[in-house]
Structure 1
C-alpha cells in the first residue's frame, strides 16, 4: 500500500466549494471623475452573481487602459483564500475565462495543501454545481493549462471506465513523485476526480497530450493578425486532426506572406464529420462573422449573388451579396455548404472574387468591395469516395506517431483530392483553391465522444426549469439532474447504431431511442403532477445486464 491519506469525499468536496461573496453592485466605472479603483474581489463577486462576459471584458478593458499595473497586481490575488481565477473557472463560462486569461490570470494556479491545480478543480466543479464543465476544460487546455497536472492513467485510454476510487494505486505510484500531481495523495480527492471525469473530459485531456504546441514564430505570426485563438481550435473538436492541422498550416502561410488574394479552402468529407462545426468554431474563436449559404437551393449565379443594378430585385440584394458589402475590407467567413450541388454558372461567377485581388462588385450599387480578407470555404461531399478509399488503404493516417509519415500521407491524400476536384469542378476553379482540407472517418473511440455529445445535450435540455404555460416556452420535462454512470460503457452501446454515411449526427437518434425514451417513461411513471418550482429530481443512466437503464434516484430540496 502507498499510504495515501484517507479522508472522506464529503470533506474534500467541501474544501473545494467556493465561498459565496456579497455582490457589491454592477460592474462599471463610477465616481465624479468616472473612475474607481480596480477590485478583483468586486469583479469575481459580480461574476458569481451573474455578470456577463461583455460586462467583465468592459470592466477589465477600462482599467487595463487606465491602471494596467493595478490590474496586473490584483488579477492573481486571493479572495477569501482562493485564487481569483478559481471563481472565474467556477462560473463555467468560457468567455469570462478567456477575458481573465488576456488580463494575465495564472492558469497554473493551485489551492490547498497539497495544492489542487485549477484544471482538477474545473473537473471536480461539475459535481459541485451539478452541470457539465467539459467546455471549461477544453478552454483551459486551449489556453495552456497543463494536462499533466492530472495523472495520465485518468485519461489514457479515455474510452475506458475507471474504478470508483480511480486507477489502481500501483499504477499511480510514479505520479506521486511528481510535484504537479502531489495533490493526488488525498484518496478523497482522487475519488472525486474519478467520479467527476466524464468521457468527454478524458478525451480533451488525452487530445491535449497528443497535440503539438505552436512554435514561437507561429505564435508571432498569428499574434500580428489577432489570430492566436487559431491554435485553440483542435481542443474543441471530435477527431479531425488532419483537418485542423491543414487549416492551421494554411492560415499561417496566408498570414505570413500577406497574400493579395482571398484564402479559399475546400472542406471535403462525409456528412456529419465536422465540416460545419469547424467553420463555426473558427468564426467563434477568431471573432469573425460567418455567412452560411445553402447551395442546394441555388443553381444560377444571380440566385447566389443577386441580380445586378438596374435589373429588378437588385436594390434588395442577396444575403451573400449584402454580407460581403457589410464586411468591405474586413476579415470574415463565407461557408458554401453542399457545394457539389452548384453549377458551372456559379463556378464562373466565383472566379472574380477568388481572383482579381479579391475585388467584388456590389450588385445593388455596382460599387467595388474589397474581399481579399474574406475566407471562403467550399464544403462538399463530392470527394467522399476519394477520402474513404484512401483511408482504407492507409489506416496509419489515423494514429501514427511518426509526424513525417503522417505528413507524407496527408500530402498524398490532398493531391488525390485536387485531381478529383478538377474532374468534378473544372480546372479554372481548382486553380483558385488555396488548400484542400480532408475530413476523415471517425475512429470507434471518437464515435463514443459523439454519443456523449448528445447525452450532454439531453442532460442540458432536461435540466431547464419546468414551464407549464401552454405555448412556445412550455417545458414539461425539466428540473432533472441526469447523471451517467460508467459513461464509456453507455456510449459504446449507443454507438452500435452509428451510421458512417451520416457521421456523428446519426447518434442523435440513437440517444433518443436508447436513453431519452427510457427517461420519458421513468418520468411519466411518477404519480405526482407536473408543477413549476419543484425540487430538482435526480435520474441515473447506467448499464445492467448489457442494456442501458434509466432510474430516478431521488428529489433534492435545492431548486433548478
Structure 2
C-alpha cells in the first residue's frame, strides 16, 4: 500500500520483484489493483497498474465487491439508489492505455500464455506483455518455443529472429529479454561489422546496458555454461554476409573456439549452449503488411500468424543464406497494430511527453489527443510516428495540458 500511495512505480516493482508483497493482497477493503485505480492523486497510475499486472494482479478482483467495494450511484434518482463499482475501476471510465492492459490481463489467451511459462525457466518473461503493446501472437509463439526448450532440457542453442516492420517492438523485446531473466546481455550492432574478427571483438553497443570494455568473445568466456543473452541488432544489414558465417558453429553445436572465428587446432572450445541469441531485422516488412491486409484485417488469428511465419522464413533464408537461417530456432514476424493498440500507444505517449499535468486532464481530452495522433500514424514507422504526432500536438496545442488546471 505504501509503495502505491507513494506514487512510485519503481517502488512497486521493487517490492513485487523481491516478494515483499503479493499483487493480489487486499489493501484495507480493496485489492491492490482497485486501490491504485481509485487513487486520484497518482501521477504514475498507469505504470503502477502495469507493474501490478505484470506480477500477476488479477483483474477479476475489480468485479468482486469484497475486493472492490461498490459505491452508491445517485445518478439514477433518489428513489432507486444503486450500488455499482467505483467508476475508475470500470473499463468504460479508463483511459485507452489502462483499458488495453486491464483487458489484456483479463483475456483467456493471457492466462494460457501464463500457463505455458508457469514451470519454465523463462517464467519472468511473462511480464514483458505489459511493456509492449500488441504482438499477442508473437508472445504466444515465443512462449511456446521457450516452454518446449525448457521442458525438454534441450542442449541445443536457442536462436530467435524477430523480424518485420520498424517501430513495432522488436528491439524493445530484445533489450528487455536479459533484464527480465536477470542475466547478462551483450548487444552487437551488426551494421558496424566489416569482418569476422569484428564480430567477436565487438563491444556492447546498447545505451541501455552498463558501459563495458568487454568484447563479445570475452563476454561469452566470462559467462561460459551460464544463461546469458546476445542481441544481434539489424542482423540483415551486415555489409559482408561472410561476417556471420562464424555463427554457424555456435548456432549448430553451442560452442565456438576461443581466440578465433573458425575451428582451429590448439584452441579450446567455449560452451555457449546456454546463450539465447536474439536477432532483430526488418526482413519481410513489406510482405507482413500485404499479408495482414489480405487476411482478416490487421487483427491476426493464431492460424494466420503461423502461416505468416512459415511464409516469412524463406525470405529470411534468401537474406541471410540457408546455412545460417536453417539454424534459427524460430522466426517471429511482428505484425501491424490494431486500432485499440494504436490508442494505447498514443495514450502512453501523451502521458510520457505531457509530464505530470497530463495525468489530470479529462478522459475526453486524452481520447481526443490520442485519436488526433492516429490520424498522423505511418504504419511503416510504427510507434515512432505516434510519439512524434503526440509531441507535435502538445507543442502546437498546449491547451490540452492547460485543461489540468481547470
| 1:282 matches 2:198 | no
- Secondary structure at the counterpart of residue 44 of structure 2: coil
* 2:208 corresponding residue in structure 1: none
Alignment of 1:74-473 (within 5 A): 86-91=1-6, 92-94=8-10, 96-97=12-13, 99-100=15-16, 103=19, 105-112=21-28, 115-125=29-39, 127-129=40-42, 131-151=43-63, 179=65, 183-187=69-73, 190-191=86-87, 193=89, 197-210=94-107, 211-214=109-112, 218-219=116-117, 221-222=119-120, 225=121, 227-306=122-201, 319-342=215-238, 343-363=240-260, 368-395=269-296, 398=299, 406-460=301-355, 463=356
- Assess, with a 3 A threshold, how the Cα gap between structure 1 residues 218 and 360 changes in structure 2: closer, same or farther: farther
Q: Is the 8 A contact 2:26 2:67 kept in 1?
A: no
| 1:495 matches 2:378 | no
- Assess, with a 3 A threshold, how the Cα gap between structure 1 residues 286 and 494 changes in structure 2: closer, same or farther: same
* 1:484 corresponding residue in structure 2: 361
Q: Is the 8 A contact 1:494 1:514 kept in 2?
A: yes
Partner Cα distance (2:385, 2:138) in 1:
21
Give the length in aligned residue pairs.
377
Shift of 1:199: 2.2
Partner Cα distance (1:420, 1:374) in 2:
25
Shift of 1:444: 2.1
Partner Cα distance (1:419, 1:492) in 2:
37
Q: Which structure has the larger Rg?
A: 1
* 2:81 corresponding residue in structure 1: none
Shift of 1:192: 5.3
* 1:82 corresponding residue in structure 2: none
Shift of 1:148: 2.2
* 1:553 corresponding residue in structure 2: 405
- Secondary structure at the counterpart of residue 355 of structure 1: helix
- Assess, with a 3 A threshold, how the Cα gap between structure 1 residues 133 and 281 changes in structure 2: closer, same or farther: farther
Partner Cα distance (2:325, 2:68) in 1:
55
Partner Cα distance (2:13, 2:144) in 1:
27
Partner Cα distance (2:103, 2:260) in 1:
49
Partner Cα distance (2:103, 2:257) in 1:
44
Query: Structure 2: where are the runs of 5+ without partners?
Result: 75-84, 203-211
Q: Give TM-score, length-normalised by structure 1.
A: 0.61
Q: Is the 8 A contact 2:31 2:61 kept in 1?
A: yes
RMSD (Å) for aligned C-alpha atoms: 3.1
Q: Give TM-score, length-normalised by structure 2.
A: 0.82
- Secondary structure at the counterpart of residue 541 of structure 1: helix
Q: Is the 8 A contact 2:228 2:274 kept in 1?
A: yes
- Assess, with a 3 A threshold, how the Cα gap between structure 1 residues 197 and 552 changes in structure 2: closer, same or farther: closer
Deviations 1:244-280 (A, max 9, x none): 1111111111111222222101101101000011122
Higher RCO (Cα < 8 Å, 6 or more apart): 2
Deviations 1:336-395 (A, max 9, x none): 111111232123111121122333424599553221111111111121123222212212
Partner Cα distance (2:4, 2:267) in 1:
50
Q: Is the 8 A contact 2:23 2:57 kept in 1?
A: yes
* 2:400 corresponding residue in structure 1: 541
Query: Structure 1: where are the runs of 5+ without partners?
Result: 1-85, 152-177, 308-315, 400-405, 464-479, 520-539, 543-549, 555-560
Shift of 1:243: 1.2
Q: 1:505 aligns with which of 381, 384, 399?
A: 384
